[in-house]
Amino acid sequence: MLKEERKFAPPAELSAHANVKADAYERAREDRLGFWAEQARRLSWETEPTETLDWSNPPFAKWFADGKLNVAYNCVDRHVEAGNGDRVAIHFEGEPGDSRSITYAQLKDEVSRAANGLIELGVGKGDRVAVYLPMIPEAVIAMLACARIGAMHSVVFGGFSADAIAARIADADAKVVITADGGYRRGKPSALKPAVDAAVSRFDTVEHVVVVRRTGEDTAWTEGRDVWWHELTERQSAEHTPEAFEAEQPLFILYTSGTTGKPKGILHTSGGYLTQASFTHHAVFDLKPETDVYWCTADIGWVTGHSYIVYGPLSNGATQVMYEGTPDTPHQGRFWEIVQKYGVTILYAAPTAIRTFMKWGDDIPAKFDLSSLRVLGSVGEPINPEAWMWYRKNIGHDKAPIVDTWWQTETGSMMISPLPGVTATKPGSAQTPLPGISATVVDDEGNEVGNGGGGYLVLTEPWPSMLRTIWGDDQRFIDTYWSRFEGKYFAGDGAKKDEDGDIWLLGRVDDVMLVSGHNISTTEVESALVSHPAVAEAAVVGAADQTTGQAIVAFVILRGSATESEDLVAELRNHVGATLGPIAKPKRIMAVAELPKTRSGKIMRRLLRDVAENRELGDVTTLTDSSVMDLIQSKLPASG
């Protein structure tokens, strides 16, 4: 179908000094477990592991099981002990313009105080702590404080409703909740604690609510239960001796984004998770901790924030930027202003953001000095080739390689991605399993497809940062991921291999369209639409149709100057037909102002399908803004 022939060689300078070179693939192919055992030595272990993988009871894996380590020590203390205490760990940029830089030495003190504070509140090894915070340094500190004492965090997106918080508190049986009075969103303080109060009042199991003062707005207070973060931490010692825990000590529970249905509570553990988060961050971003300034724009409430704001970068001693707010507050150049201010060298963002910047126009990033950028990352959804090219040209100035990283909450860390010093990159493809990772594409029967073939993405060998189970539901873990194909992990994503054997993600299996007996990928039709100059963003779904089984219905957001007309719709249909073939032509195309997205920015096609099929909407609790659905529904006359 879609032919993408552009290819970009890695910059020679980057290749010459790359952290990880082509030989890593070979080394890992020869001895996969030996390769991961070497990567585990990136970490400081109190007891070095002698076992690498225990796969005697699949799909329940144990990695580095006889090793002991403290995750927070690895992310903080050891950098201070190595003489890098004065290095900035976090440059925090608040939305209103306040900023604060925290060195590794200061981070060590803050994490220690918070750990002592949690101990004072009775939190211990194995307890669950829910974290519901804005993007402020206390979010990182709270997570590391839990890790330091062997408690598990369960971070809930700041901005989720009381119902969503309550469901997650109940599922994890959290003892303490850490929140804030509020955070800044779109130029205004936005309260967080009322949602926590509403959620917590439903249980008598939550013993304390710790509240960070961020906005200073008035906050309801429950005496005896509520504790100010600053009062709790200021009275603690800045000394805390980290205890080493077993490698399989649970580190956190995190719920998936809820794009396809009810979120699943994914359980991650310590040694294997940190090994792969650390290795992939080092390899895929080529991080040089002495000189790079790294910025991951994801929210801490998403797995990307866990692995690539907290555990990956901090275990590698990175200096990073953390930004509290939205990309258009107070103006649409805010991200680029931040890149310029801190001299960001590595940027990790999501396709949804890139398509939004594309819609806002090239002239906005052009006003800022982005010459410091040397590696650009993408994660969260397939990136349309047009958006990839826009990112490369307007943000990377045709020199910074783009790494399109495929992974999931369940995989814990990146799995399929180019390496910036090795791979000749292709717009729109995640390309190659990372060294030590075994991924492929299989057909309906589970047989590996050849080059040029399509089907389902599977992982064929266990990996260190794999989920260990769905919290409290081993059977659902087996059913969801390990039952579709014997002995293989089923990722739930459609994929194909091109003629070179590179992997292209084609969208979720739940979203694949079946038109007149042909499987058609949502991603390919969306990318064809986005490749038209009038379209900034597109979502397509298959809606039941009497003659073709399913018919393609497309929802598009137009670029600045374009307006909806019958001519434009006809032109777009023909454009898709010309790009992909007549069978892929959408039956209906509608211009909309917004698309329904999860809080992590992913398009929720299942809701669009509900609309297109004139059904009641499914679970909307993970949606950013439910009024979007009213707008879309009002545009769409009942379909048959």
Stretch touching ligand ATP by CB under 6 A, among 86-94, 154-162, 358-366, 399-407: 399-407
Taking CB under 6 A as the criterion, the residue among 129, 303, 441, 535 binding ligand ATP is 303
Longest dimension (CA), the chain: 72
- The whole-angstrom separation of Cα 184 and Cα 637 is 38
DSSP structure string for 242-283? PPPEETTSEEEEEE---SSSS--EEEEESHHHHHHHHHHHHH
In the complex with ligand ATP, the residue whose CB is nearer, 167 or 210, is 167
Extract the tokens encoding 554: 């497309």
Name the phi and psi angles at 8, rounded to 5. -130, 115
In the complex with Mg ion, the residue whose CB is nearer, 69 or 604, is 604
In the complex with ligand ATP, the residue whose CB is nearer, 116 or 307, is 307
Taking CB under 6 A as the criterion, the residue among 503, 505, 534, 611 binding ligand ATP is 505
In the complex with ligand ATP, the residue whose CB is nearer, 123 or 430, is 430
Region of 569 on the Ramachandran plot (φ > 0 left; ψ -120 to 50 alpha; else beta): alpha
List the beta bridge partners of residue 253.
154, 267
Based on the shown chain and the rule CB under 6 A, indicate whether residue 409 belongs to the binding site for ligand ATP.
Answer: yes
Site pattern 601..630 for ligand ATP (x: CB under 6 A): -x----------------------------
Taking CB under 6 A as the criterion, the residue among 74, 154, 249, 259 binding ligand ATP is 259
DSSP structure string for 30-53? H-HHHHHHHHHTTS--SB--S--E
In the complex with ligand ATP, the residue whose CB is nearer, 117 or 462, is 462
Beta-carbon contacts of 319 under 8 Å, excluding residues fewer than 6 positions away, are 87, 88, 89, 91, 289, 292, 293, 294
**53 to 64, 408, 474, 503: CA distances (angstroms):** 6, 21, 20, 27
Beta-carbon contacts of 98 under 8 Å, excluding residues fewer than 6 positions away, are none
Based on the shown chain and the rule CB under 6 A, indicate whether residue 405 belongs to the binding site for ligand ATP.
Answer: yes
* Element housing 340 (H / E): helix 334-342
In the complex with ligand ATP, the residue whose CB is nearer, 215 or 405, is 405
- The whole-angstrom separation of Cα 216 and Cα 555 is 41
Q: Which residue has the tokens 């967080």?
A: 192
- Pick what 602 binds: ligand ATP, Mg ion, none; C-beta below 5 to 8 Å, kind-dependent: ligand ATP
Taking CB under 6 A as the criterion, the residue among 380, 435, 462, 601 binding ligand ATP is 380
Number of residues that bind ligand ATP (CB under 6 A): 25
Task: Output the known binding site.
Answer: 185-188, 304, 380-382, 404-409, 493, 508, 516, 530, 532, 535
Based on the shown chain and the rule CB under 6 A, indicate whether residue 508 belongs to the binding site for ligand ATP.
Answer: yes
Task: Output the known binding site for Mg(2+).
Answer: 530, 532, 535
Q: Closest distance between ligand ATP and the C-beta of residue 396, in Å?
A: 17
Stretch touching ligand ATP by CB under 6 A, among 34-42, 72-80, 490-498, 632-640: 490-498
Residue 239 burial class via C-beta count within 10 angstroms: exposed 0-12, middle 13-18, buried 19 and up:
exposed
The residues in 248-267 that bind Mg ion, with binding defined as CB under 5 A, are 256
Enumerate binding residues for ligand ATP (CB under 6 A). Answer: 256-261, 263, 303, 379-382, 404-406, 408-409, 430, 491-493, 505, 508, 600, 602
Enumerate binding residues for Mg ion (CB under 5 A). Answer: 256
